[in-house]
Structure formats: C-alpha cells, structure tokens
Structure 1
Amino acid sequence: MTTGASGQAPDLDTVRRVTGAVRQNIERVISGKPDVVNACLVVLLAEGHLLIEDVPGVGKTQLSKALARSIDCTVARIQFTPDLLPSDVTGVSIFNQDTRQFEFRPGGVFANIVVGDEINRASPKTQSALLEAMEERQVTVDNATYMLEKPFMVIATQNPIEMEGTYALPEAQRDRFMARVSVGYPVESAEIAMLEGHTAHNPLDDLEPVTDAGELRKVIEIVGRVHVSSAVHRYAVALTTATRTSNDLHLGASPRATLHLVRAAKAVAATQGRDYVLPDDIHGITSPVLAHRLLPNVEATMSGRTTSAILSGIVESVPVPSGSDSSGSRA
C-alpha cells in the first residue's frame, strides 16, 4: 500500500462501501448503463462537475436526480429557460423596508448538489452566472463574496446544439465541467424492464439517501491521497499537449483539463481498490474528460471527422508509459 502526504494509507474500504451504495441506488432508476453511472461517481469523488448531453427522453434528468437523492445533503434544481436571469442562479440583494438595509437572497446555486436542467436553453449571459461558482466555490454579488459549502457539484443536462432553441455553451463554461457523458438509448431488455417498473410509479420516489455530506467529504479526502507517479503525470501532460499541437484541432485541452484528468484518474483508481494510479486509468477516462473541451478546425469539420475520432487518434499516438514507475506503486 502507498501512503499520501499525511503518511497514512487511503481508507479504500470506505470508498468502496460508499460508491457501491450510491451506484446501487442510481441503478434502481437508470439500468443497463454501468459506464455512465461509474463516470458520475468518478466526477463526484474528484470534486468535479458533470455535463450530461443527449437527445430528449433518454433519462438525463432522471440520472442527475438519482445521484442527487442518493446523498443526504442540500439539493437545488434550476430549470434553465430563455427568460432565466443570472440573479436567479446566483441570488440578488433586496431592500428590506423594515430594517432599511439590503439583504442577500441566495439563488439556486447555493446547495451541495445543483441540478441544472437543460442548461443550454438559457442565454450565454445566464450560463456564465455559474462560472465563478464552479471554479472557485464562491459567489460574488454587489461586491460581497459568499462561500459555497463543500461538497459542491453541478450536474447539468443539455440537448445537442442542433436541437431547436438551444445556445452552445461558451468554451470557458465547457472547460469547467470535468466530464461529459451521454446516456444513450437503452438496450431492448432494459427498455422492457423500464416499461414494467416505471409505468406504475416513479422509482425516484422510493430513493433514500445512502450517504451524507460529511461522509462524502471524508471519501473525497481519501481519494485525494491516492498516489500518482511522475511517469503518469508526464503521460497526462503528453496527452493534453498532443491536443494543442494537433493539425485537426482549433482548440486543444487546457491546463485545467490536465488537472481534471489526473483527479478523475485518482477517483477511478480508488473505486477499483487501488491507492495508486495506472496509465490505464488515465487512458480510460480521456474521452469523457477531454472530448467536450476540444474544437475541430474547419478542414476536419468539412471532412466529417468528429472530435471523438480525432481524440481517439491522438490518444493512440501518445506512448503509454511502462515499467514499475508507471504503476505508481511504492513500498
């Protein structure tokens, strides 16, 4: 076992117990999508934010609600619409006639889990109200700064930008989401099971919390002590650097993306019972962590090459470290 900065080995049993309970809870609502559920858990443990993008009706909101209800903490839901104002998200100062003073009324972002439904139906001005909260865990209104309580996670759903009445998320907004996942259509057996189990009642109504904010903070701290070797650090940097020099991309991955890649890999390792990160952990999460941040250039777009295909080629071109140093394991 390795030890973190505190000199103690991470308590992986706690991580496994909590994530197993949350996973089982979510799968009562979303069945047949283990990869999507695992990605949600990884982002949660890595203190990131999750973007769920897919066509209407595949369970994006159900997935985000199931994750939120599995944790006994404050939850807020914001329905993003074209007329939503930034102050509806962050809050607003209101003059109190009795005290003759302005009082701050918190907006929907003041919660441990914030579910932003159909985020790309609001204007870019309103979308940008989340920028400070997502990056700095704070909100500034009228020159006053209010800290957000940990854990803090934004789970946003969005329809593909080709859908009517949508606004593409700005690059700065997309870059703040640690990962983007797509639920996808269910397999036949899962859809039949949904018809049998969801028509009489909503399974969300039966969900009870299986952990709380305090225990989640403890698990997040445990994940932070997972060891990452210098070879794995170099591999993560090599991947993001390759996106910046690609002839097919107009915009590559940012340094924040590199940080998110390593944090997510630590969460992957912890959920698999390891206190060190393998190159395979980085490799396995490259697409959900990086793909939504990249912009193909005109030539690549006109030739029909998708961002995912370009990223796949880049990942295959970067050598994977081998040997004992790449395992990150140490006595």
Structure 2
Amino acid sequence: MTQEQATWFHDAFGRLVDNIDQAILGKREVIALVLTAFLSDGHVLLEDFPGTGKTVLAKALANTLDGTHSRIQFTPDLLPSDVTGVTIYDQGKGRFEFHRGPIFASIVLADEINRASPKTQSALLEVMEEGRVTVDGVGYEVEPPFMVIATQNPVEQAGTYSLPEAQLDRFLIKTSLGYPDHETAVTLLLDSANRARATGVSPIIASGSIVSMARLASEVYVDAAVLSYLNELVTATRTHPDAALGVSMRGALALARAVKTWAISQGRTYVTPDDVRALAVPVLAHRIIVDPEAEFTGTTARDIVERALAEVAPPAYRAA
C-alpha cells in the first residue's frame, strides 16, 4: 500500500463521516466507529436509551450508501422466515421459488433486536458470520457490502430476550450514542420541525467503492509486535479474576481487522499500539461475561478491558 492510497482513504472516510453527521450532530466518534465496522466487514450493536438517535444513525448510514437497505422491526411474533425469506410453490411455473427476505440488503437495520424470540434472533447467526442464508437446504449468498446494525434498549426488560453470548460475539463493535451536549441539543431544538433528519442525507458513495475501500483496509501493515500486544490484551481478559468468560479468538480476529481500518482512516499505512487501545473497549467489552459476584459489586466488562490496557505494556516504537 502506498501513502497516496492511505491519503485517499482518509479523505473518503472523512467525507462519509461529514455526510452522516448532518443527521447525527456531535457524534463523529461514534459515526467513525460504525464506519470502521462497516469497512471491516463487521456488524454493529447500538445499545442506548430511547430517543438518542440509534435508528437515525442507521438510516443516515444507509442513505449515504448508494445501495439497498432495509429495516426489520423485531417483535415477539416475528418469525425467522420474516427475516430470511420463504420458499413458495408457484402453481403457474410448477416449481418452488425462493422469495428473499429483508436480510438481503447492503445495510440491514434490526430495530429492537432483543424483542424477538431467540429462534428469530438465531436466524441472523449464519448470515452475520458467513454472508449467506440457508433455506430448505439451499444456500443463498448475500452480496457485499453487507452489515447488520442492531439496536436495543437496555432499560426495558419486560417482553425482551437477551442476546446469547454466541450472537453478541458476532457483532464487531458495540457502542452507544448517549445524550448530546448542550450546544448540540440547542441546535437540534432549533430544527425541531425537521422530524426526519436522516432523509436529508444523500448518497455519496457506491457499493462498489465500499468494497474497494474494505479491500484496501485489509492490506494495512501490522507488525508482529503489535499483534503480540493485541493477543496479550485478549489473554488478560481471560485470566482476569472478575471475568467468568474472556474474549474469544473470534474477538481477537475482529480487533485485528478493525485496527487496520482505523489506522488507514487516520491516513496511515501501518497499525500502531494506539490504534489497538482506541478500539479495545468497543470491540472487546461486549464479548466478556462478568462474574456475578463481581458484577454485584459494580464491576463492568469495560472495567476489565481498561484494567488489561493499564496492566499490559504496549511495544515501544522503533526509530526508523
């Protein structure tokens, strides 16, 4: 990879952030995280309080891409076939035909994913991991680029089904938007008549360009010392006394992919330990199960990752 390619990626990434920022004001860091997941062939889980803009962010990203997007409102009566599609017998043609579900889109918004039954939630497992859907023994490929943005409300627990650890592990990044600062809130209030901010976001990039950017990000150089540091962080989460379950190997691989995209989005052709530190919490924390006794005392998965970051020494920079 050349520095010119990294500079082009950095500029394109910045334009994407600027475009989405028209709908979600003051949340550029979260937007950058979501785009990093998208360009790393990953998926995003947005967990936050009601009314913080989770759905608007997903719609704004979908509108930025000149491709297909769909929204699935997860409810307790939603069936797996409502997500993946169903095979129907066509009497006129005398054969069964597969009718594709809303999962066959570039960006899929799974709204309030924890309201659906575990059976329906599991319909996303194969397509999120392998990019294909199997219905009646026949596999159907989902064309790249493809990303699932799932939202869930951590406050309401009645009528919800917590995502199992195996499914949480398939989300590259888990993050939240939070409430806006005072200045941003006033700006939004002044524009309160605009009830559909995401619709004002226009497409600025084609699907093929996203695939090219993702391919370019995968070519970023990572030194063996940085990968060793990354693995030591993951190992530290597994041996932490307050962790009932640490980060899996899938999580380590996910972080290794994400830091490449993060590095080139900063205009660099190589990964530094700071890139690993920047993404450690959003990529690793949701994969950790905190011991019940430690959780009772207030320990969180974020605390475990931050302690690992404090205890594991990063590799020293070498002079050129």
- In the superposition, the TM-score normalised over structure 2's length comes to 0.96
* Alignment counterpart, residue 102 of structure 1, candidates 87, 96, 106: 96
Is the partner of 2:174 in helix, strand or coil?
Answer: strand
Q: Which moved more, 1:111-120 or 1:306-315?
A: 306-315
* Alignment counterpart, residue 128 of structure 1, candidates 100, 122, 125: 122
Cα distance, 1:310 vs structure 2: 2.1
* Alignment counterpart, residue 77 of structure 1, candidates 63, 71, 79: 71
| 1:168 and 2:166 are equivalent in the alignment | no
Is the partner of 1:308 in helix, strand or coil?
Answer: helix
User: Which residue number corresponds to residue 90 of structure 1?
Assistant: 84
| 1:219 and 2:180 are equivalent in the alignment | no
| 1:261 and 2:252 are equivalent in the alignment | no
**Alpha-carbon distance between aligned partners in 1 of 2:109 and 2:263, rounded to the nearest angstrom:** 26
Q: Which moved more, 1:160-169 or 1:19-28?
A: 160-169
Unaligned runs of 5+ in 2: none
Unaligned runs of 5+ in 1: none
| 1:154 and 2:148 are equivalent in the alignment | yes
| 1:272 and 2:272 are equivalent in the alignment | no
Paired amino acid for 2:180: P
User: Which residue number corresponds to residue 190 of structure 1?
Assistant: 184
**Match runs of 1:274-293 below 5 Å:** 274-293=268-287
| 1:303 and 2:297 are equivalent in the alignment | yes
Paired amino acid for 2:123: A
| 1:48 and 2:42 are equivalent in the alignment | yes
Distance 1:253 1:10, change over 3 A: farther
> Does structure 2 retain, via aligned residues, the 8 Å contact 1:248–1:310?
yes
Is the partner of 2:269 in helix, strand or coil?
Answer: coil
**Alpha-carbon distance between aligned partners in 1 of 2:275 and 2:158, rounded to the nearest angstrom:** 37
**1:213-267: CA deviation from partner (whole Å, max 9, x where unpaired):** 0111111111111000000111111111111111111111011100111111111
Task: Count residues in correspondence.
Answer: 320
Is the partner of 2:177 in helix, strand or coil?
Answer: coil
Paired amino acid for 1:236: L
Paired amino acid for 1:243: T
* Alignment counterpart, residue 29 of structure 2, candidates 21, 32, 35: 35
**Alpha-carbon distance between aligned partners in 2 of 1:214 and 1:10, rounded to the nearest angstrom:** 20
**Alpha-carbon distance between aligned partners in 2 of 1:306 and 1:255, rounded to the nearest angstrom:** 21
Paired amino acid for 2:176: S
**Alpha-carbon distance between aligned partners in 2 of 1:68 and 1:200, rounded to the nearest angstrom:** 19
> Does structure 2 retain, via aligned residues, the 8 Å contact 1:45–1:223?
yes
Cα distance, 1:14 vs structure 2: 2.8
**1:35-84: CA deviation from partner (whole Å, max 9, x where unpaired):** 11111111111111011110111100001111111000111111111111
**Alpha-carbon distance between aligned partners in 2 of 1:229 and 1:279, rounded to the nearest angstrom:** 10
User: Which residue number corresponds to residue 6 of structure 2?
Assistant: 12
* Alignment counterpart, residue 203 of structure 2, candidates 204, 209, 226: 209
Cα distance, 1:20 vs structure 2: 1.6
**1:166-216: CA deviation from partner (whole Å, max 9, x where unpaired):** 211011110000000110011111111111124245222221101010111
Paired amino acid for 2:286: H
**Alpha-carbon distance between aligned partners in 1 of 2:228 and 2:195, rounded to the nearest angstrom:** 50
Distance 1:10 1:96, change over 3 A: farther
User: Which residue number corresponds to residue 241 of structure 2?
Assistant: 247
Q: Which moved more, 1:166-175 or 1:191-200?
A: 191-200
Cα distance, 1:302 vs structure 2: 1.9
Cα distance, 1:164 vs structure 2: 2.9
Cα distance, 1:147 vs structure 2: 0.7
User: Which residue number corresponds to residue 115 of structure 1?
Assistant: 109
Aligned-pair Cα RMSD in Å: 1.5
Paired amino acid for 1:166: T
Is the partner of 1:273 in helix, strand or coil?
Answer: coil
**1:9-28: CA deviation from partner (whole Å, max 9, x where unpaired):** 67123312321221111110
**Alpha-carbon distance between aligned partners in 2 of 1:60 and 1:144, rounded to the nearest angstrom:** 34
> Does structure 2 retain, via aligned residues, the 8 Å contact 1:61–1:117?
yes
> Does structure 2 retain, via aligned residues, the 8 Å contact 1:78–1:115?
yes
Is the partner of 1:149 in helix, strand or coil?
Answer: coil
| 1:233 and 2:223 are equivalent in the alignment | no
| Identity between Structure 1 and Structure 2 (%) | 47
Distance 1:248 1:201, change over 3 A: closer
